[in-house]
C-alpha cells in the first residue's frame, strides 16, 4: 500500500525536520537548541501560510 501525502503534510514534515537539524547544528546548549528549533519551525509554518495566502490572492 503506497503512502500518499498531500502538499501541506509534506511541507509541515519538511519544516519539522529542517528545524530539528538547524537547532542541532547551530546552537551549543540544549535549551538554545530547543528554543531555536521551535522558532525555526514557527517561521517555516508562518511562511507556509503566508505564501499560501498570497498565492490564493493571485490565483483566486
Is 43 within a domain?
yes
Q: Which of 23, 11, 5, 3 is nearest to 51 (CA)?
A: 11
Query: What does the alpha-carbon distance between residue 48 and residue 46 come to, in Å, rounded to a whole number?
Result: 5
* Domain total in the chain: 1
Q: Which of 4, 2, 10 is nearest to 48 (CA)?
A: 10
pLDDT at 46: 97
Q: For residue 29, report the phi and psi dihedrals to the nearest 5 degrees.
A: -95, 160
Is 2 within a domain?
no
Write down the pTM of the prediction.
0.86
Is 20 within a domain?
yes
Is 19 within a domain?
yes
Is 3 within a domain?
no
Is 44 within a domain?
yes
Is 34 within a domain?
yes
Is 18 within a domain?
yes
* Domain interval for residue 50: 12-59
Q: What is the pLDDT of residues 11-59, one digit of tens each?
A: 999 999 999 999 999 999 999 999 999 999 999 999 999 999 999 999 8
Amino acid at each position: 500500500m503506497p503512502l500518499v501525502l498531500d502538499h501541506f503534510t509534506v511541507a509541515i514534515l519538511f519544516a519539522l525536520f529542517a528545524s530539528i537539524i538547524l537547532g542541532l547544528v547551530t546552537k551549543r546548549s540544549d535549551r538554545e537548541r530547543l528554543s531555536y528549533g521551535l522558532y525555526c519551525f514557527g517561521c517555516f509554518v508562518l511562511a507556509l501560510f503566508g505564501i499560501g495566502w498570497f498565492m490564493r490572492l493571485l490565483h483566486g
